[in-house]
Structure 1
Amino acid sequence: MSVKIQSVAKALPAYTRPTSEIMPYLDLWLAGQEERFVKKVKKIFENAAVDQRYSIMNAEEVFNNTSFEEKNNIYIRECTELGKKCLQGALEKAGLKGEEIDYIITVSCTGFMIPSMDAYLINALQLRQDIVRLPVTEMGCAAGVSGMIYAYQFLKANPGKRAAVVAVESPTATFQHNDYSMANIVSAAIFGDGAACVILSSHEDDKGPAIVGAEMYHFYEATHLMGFHLSNTGLQMVLDIAVPEQIASHFSDIIYPFLERNGTTMEAVNQLIFHPGGRKIIQTVEEIFSGSGKNIDDTKEVLRLYGNMSSATVLYVLERILDKAIPPGDKGLMLSFGPGFSAQRILLQW
């Protein structure tokens, strides 16, 4: 019995702007700041390798000093709709009905809602009344792969079942109007909003690439590198400049022993499905693979078209790969990083 990926579908919010059209809003937000600082902030946006981004709010709402409650209410309303849309899309791609899902995992770290999103999706799509729910709320950018790992473990233990992992994020809802720190500015420059759903199956006859192995890797003494500080004005980004360096220093330990334990090598992996954390992280990974003939072009293209959508982003890369004609026998490596600090890995085989 193997666990396979049946389908992936994305959903995007209604509001979108190219980075060039965000600059006037930066001028308003940065009014009164030193000219040198304003130029530095604009340069960060221009060099973020993000051409376009989407948001659950219009630009005026993002840059206005709205309250945490107001933004979180928008998050609840809009993200629930995005979750419904991407789950419906994934079901349609797989040729399934809602009642054929046995396990639902909802992933988000950019807002709060109790009941969690899965409860609303059960009602909206009339999912099974005995469906098993798991909301994953505090694993950040890594949680798209984390959710798939949880689904994989469930399906390995339960043949003939299916699971849906729904990742919905709105980093723009966490923008801090009165915070001029580099963490808040870099976050605003690289992040965007989006949602994606992946359906996995342990039904013998279902098609799709099989998960060969799945593991997590945790960095010691690295909780300070990434996360959110819960302030009176909302979720305030924590983002240490040492993140790319830390990834580079652990990369060999993250990748090669994992592949070896699963009976393969990096040379045998043709499909790289990496979370696009940002331009510097992409550059770090590309430098590691320089000269090996590998590329992360799909990762770069997702960052360019949508920005970093936290947990949902790696699923956008996965969808691009699944839409290609991948030859049987090809192997793929999924990799994402997130608060903790941790790396999540999945090995696929077509």
Structure 2
Amino acid sequence: MSVKITAVAKQLPKYARATKDILPLVEFWLEGQEERFKRKVLKIFENAAVDKRYSIMDPEDVFLKTSFEEKNDIYIKESIKLAEQSLTKALDKAQLKATDIDYIITVSCTGIMIPSLDAYLINSLKMKQDIVRLPVTEMGCAAGVSGILYAKNFLKANPNKRAAVVAVEAPTATFQLDDYSMVNVVSAAIFGDGCASVILSSYEEESGPEIKAEGMYHFFDTEHMMGFKLRNTGLQMVLDQSVPETIATHFPKIIHPFLAQNGLSIKDIDHLVFHPGGKKIVQTVEDLFEDLGKNINDTKDVLRLYGNMSSATVLYVLERFMDKNLPKGDTGLMLSFGPGFSAQRILLEW
């Protein structure tokens, strides 16, 4: 029995600003800092390979002294809206009703809400009262792929069922106003807000790329590399500068054994559906693949157009491939990285 991805749909927040238009706000935030430091920070924003980003709050409000409570309240309110809009779009693409979904997985790491997002969606969309729900809250950027992986395993065990994965993230709500560290600066320069939903099915007659295999790869002794610290001021980003180098070191072990287990090599993969973690990570991955004649142009485009939206970002890349009407038999490799440190992989066949 096969499990297929039948639809993907994104939803962007209502606020948007080009990077060049954010720079004056960054300069205002940097008042009182050394001139050399100011120039360095502005250069980081200009060279982040992000032309535009979207956010759940007006960019001016990001740089105000709002409390963790105030920002988290905005996160809850706007996340529910974005998730409902995104899931409705995905259901429309798949020509389904909300009551056709048997399993819902919601993914987010940039705010805190209990009950979790799925409970709100079940009520607002009047989904099944016996729907199975799973919130995934602490896997960071990797969780978009993780959610699909969990949905696939549920559907594999349950023929003629459907699942929805909804990833919504608002990294702008985690910006630390009084933190002038490079980690806070770099995360502000590369991250944006966004939401995306995926519909999966174990109905044989429904079409879409089939999930042929999936797997996780865990890096030992790397818990310090990525994540959040919970402060009185909110969720403070943890992002070690060694992340790109660590990924490059492990990359052969992440890719080649996984493909070999499925009788393939990287030369057999037609499409790379990779999460754009940031300019340095994108460059690292691109360098590793350029000799094989592969490109990650869609990954770079998503980073440029929207920034890194944590778990939702790889789903934006996936939507671009879904919209291309790819030939039957084409293969794709989904890959994302997240706190732990871990890599999540999915092998697709159209």
Shift of 1:290: 1.7
* Aligned equivalents of 1:197, 1:263: Cα separation in 2: 30
Q: Which secondary structure does the structure 2 equivalent of 1:235 belong to?
A: strand
* Aligned equivalents of 1:65, 1:141: Cα separation in 2: 27
Q: Which secondary structure does the structure 2 equivalent of 1:9 belong to?
A: strand
Find the counterpart in structure 2 of residue 338 from structure 1.
338
Find the counterpart in structure 2 of residue 6 from structure 1.
6
**1:166 counterpart = 2:166:** yes
Runs of 4+ residues over 4 Å off in structure 1: none
Find the counterpart in structure 2 of residue 229 from structure 1.
229
Find the counterpart in structure 1 of residue 191 from structure 2.
191
* Aligned equivalents of 2:327, 2:130: Cα separation in 1: 38
Shift of 1:264: 1.1
Deviations 1:267-319 (CA, angstroms, capped at 9, x unpaired): 01011000000000000001101221100000000000000000000000000
- The residue type equivalent to 1:181 in the other structure is S
Deviations 1:187-212 (CA, angstroms, capped at 9, x unpaired): 00000000000001001111000000
Shift of 1:140: 0.2
- Compute the RMSD of aligned alpha carbons: 0.4
Deviations 1:307-345 (CA, angstroms, capped at 9, x unpaired): 000000000000000100211111000000000000000
**1:123 counterpart = 2:123:** yes
Find the counterpart in structure 2 of residue 51 from structure 1.
51
Structure 1: 5+ residue stretches without partners:
none
Normalization by structure 1: what TM-score? 1.00
Find the counterpart in structure 1 of residue 207 from structure 2.
207
Shift of 1:27: 1.1
Shift of 1:263: 1.5
Find the counterpart in structure 1 of residue 290 from structure 2.
290
* Aligned equivalents of 1:268, 1:132: Cα separation in 2: 36
Larger CA deviation: 99-108 vs 263-272: 263-272
Percent same amino acid among aligned pairs?
Answer: 69
Find the counterpart in structure 2 of residue 278 from structure 1.
278
- The residue type equivalent to 2:292 in the other structure is S
* Aligned equivalents of 2:248, 2:226: Cα separation in 1: 16
**1:61 counterpart = 2:61:** yes
- The residue type equivalent to 1:306 in the other structure is Y
- The residue type equivalent to 1:298 in the other structure is D
Find the counterpart in structure 2 of residue 94 from structure 1.
94
Q: Which secondary structure does the structure 2 equivalent of 1:167 belong to?
A: strand
Find the counterpart in structure 2 of residue 143 from structure 1.
143
Q: Which secondary structure does the structure 2 equivalent of 1:159 belong to?
A: coil
Deviations 1:233-261 (CA, angstroms, capped at 9, x unpaired): 00000000000000000000000000011
Q: Which secondary structure does the structure 1 equivalent of 2:329 belong to?
A: coil
Find the counterpart in structure 1 of residue 84 from structure 2.
84
- The residue type equivalent to 1:142 in the other structure is A
Find the counterpart in structure 1 of residue 41 from structure 2.
41
Matches within 5 A, 1:285-324: 285-324=285-324
- The residue type equivalent to 1:132 in the other structure is V
* Aligned equivalents of 2:260, 2:159: Cα separation in 1: 26
Find the counterpart in structure 2 of residue 106 from structure 1.
106
- The residue type equivalent to 1:19 in the other structure is T
**1:154 counterpart = 2:163:** no
* Aligned equivalents of 2:143, 2:4: Cα separation in 1: 19
* Aligned equivalents of 1:150, 1:262: Cα separation in 2: 19
Shift of 1:59: 1.1
Number of equivalences: 350
Shift of 1:123: 0.6
* Aligned equivalents of 1:27, 1:259: Cα separation in 2: 47
* Aligned equivalents of 1:103, 1:59: Cα separation in 2: 35
